[in-house]
Amino acid sequence: MAVVSTRNLTKVFKEGELGAVNNVNLETREGEFLVFLGPSGSGKTTLLRMIAGLETPTAGEILIGGKVVNDLTPRERRIAMVFQSYALYPHLTVYKNIAFPLKAQNVPKDQHKQKVEWASSLLGIGDLLQRKPRELSGGERQRVALARAIVREPSVFLLDEPLSNLDAKLRLSAREELERFHRRVGTTTIYVTHDQVEAMAMGDRIVVLNKGVVRQLGSPKEVYDDPADTFVATFLGSPPMNLIENADVICGFRPEHFRLAEDMKETAKINFQFRVENMEYLGAEYILSGNIVGGKVDGKKVIARLLLGHSFELGKTYDFAVPERHLKFFDVKTEVKVAPRPLTWQ
């Protein structure tokens, strides 16, 4: 187990252009499951590849276990990386696939069996060792890729969207399996994804990236409940947080914090009229989208997420409220979080 940290880590692919990764400072905790979350092109893979030693930084340092590793090869860093396309060797059995890194590193052959058995039993694939990859399901192949990665007992695990080739159902079970696996081995893990649900579900903490810049590093609860800026506020959550600009401030509130005014027990709240323009029935809840009617923010589009219990009609206007404690405030220019302030909407 080891702590990974970066100091002002930067990667510029073409001189004069914006960096793919800009001045990133972060530190994992011992044994942590840290998630890099961001949209496509935000620099997640580049950051991970620099940590792995597969990409040379333009500037900055990478430390593993407190030592600068910039000049070490990937192998010397004792890191295991699993990519989106995990590329098992099709002509080799599962056993030989898992043993491959041992062979490549000249680990004495008499140790292979014991190590392969250890890794495969940890992932529950001990009975598949004589099969070829084509005889496995997607989830089993993924487990073989993980077993191959852990067989060298790495100090750090780097996973780059390892589940994105799986279908939705398999993804969920593979996710649970990865979580269980991490609890068992306790190896410091950095996991890359563009999927905010996956990030929230799996991460001890999440690094939210945009344009190669760390926007926020915090627990899932921190980044969801207390986003550092409007990017984080809207990237996490589905539907995203409503943002309404009024004077020098942007006010944000999440769709699930809407209530019909008549159902609202809290006294500190904002009230507004909401005309329902579209309605999605999702079984356990409604997603309503429409406009605010009247006041200074007349016509602003908003989305509400409501549990069943009321019926709504398209084109009708309802009295809604949001508790003040759920309102977030951001600066109009910088889009960065600012202190709460009185709202002057109505």
- The yes or no reply on residue 42 touching Mg ion (CB under 5 A) is no
Residue 79, strand partner residues? 156
Which one of Mg ion, ligand ADP, none is in contact with 43 (Cβ closer than 5 to 8 A by kind)?
A: ligand ADP
Q: Residue 119 in contact with residue 142, Cβ under 8 Å?
A: no
* Of 43 and 203, CB closest to ligand ADP: 43
For ligand ADP, the binding residues in 248-267 under the rule CB under 6 A are none
* Of 21 and 288, CB closest to Mg ion: 21
Report in angstroms the alpha-carbon separations of 311 from 167, 237, 307, 323: 34, 24, 10, 22
What is the Cα–Cα distance from 211 to 40, expressed in whole angstroms?
9
- The yes or no reply on residue 46 touching ligand ADP (CB under 6 A) is yes
Of 15, 16, 40, 284, the residue at the interface with ligand ADP (CB under 6 A) is: 40
User: How big is the site for ligand ADP, counted in residues (CB under 6 A)?
Assistant: 10
Of 20, 64, 178, 244, the residue at the interface with ligand ADP (CB under 6 A) is: 20
Q: Least distance in Å: CB of 6 to Mg ion?
A: 17
Q: Tell me which residue of 209, 246, 229, 227 sits closest to 335, measured CA to CA.
A: 229
Which one of Mg ion, ligand ADP, none is in contact with 159 (Cβ closer than 5 to 8 A by kind)?
A: none
* Of 209 and 304, CB closest to ligand ADP: 209
* Of 26 and 125, CB closest to Mg ion: 26
Work out whether strand 188-193 and strand 242-246 pair parallel, antiparallel, or are unpaired.
Answer: unpaired
- The yes or no reply on residue 85 touching ligand ADP (CB under 6 A) is no
Of 2, 44, 112, 274, the residue at the interface with ligand ADP (CB under 6 A) is: 44
Count the residues in the chain: 346
The amino acid that residue 61 corresponds to is: E
Q: Least distance in Å: CB of 218 to Mg ion?
A: 22
Q: Any long-range contacts for 211-214 (C-beta under 8 Å, 24+ apart)?
A: 211/18, 211/22, 211/42, 211/43, 212/11, 212/18, 212/19, 212/20, 212/21, 212/22, 212/24, 212/42, 212/43, 212/46, 212/47, 213/22, 213/23, 213/24, 214/24, 214/25, 214/26
Of 5, 42, 142, 216, the residue at the interface with ligand ADP (CB under 6 A) is: 42
Of 5, 6, 28, 45, the residue at the interface with ligand ADP (CB under 6 A) is: 45
Q: What are phi and psi of 251, to 5 degrees?
A: -100, 135
Where on the phi/psi map is residue 256: left (φ > 0), alpha (ψ -120 to 50), or beta?
alpha
The amino acid that residue 180 corresponds to is: R
Q: Residue 53 in contact with residue 73, Cβ under 8 Å?
A: yes
- The yes or no reply on residue 210 touching ligand ADP (CB under 6 A) is no
- The yes or no reply on residue 45 touching Mg ion (CB under 5 A) is yes
Q: Tell me which residue of 315, 324, 313, 197 sits closest to 259, measured CA to CA.
A: 324
Q: Which residue is nearest to Mg ion (CB)?
A: 45
Which residues in this chain contact ligand ADP in the complex, by CB under 6 A? 13, 20, 38, 40-46
Which residues in this chain contact Mg ion in the complex, by CB under 5 A? 44-45
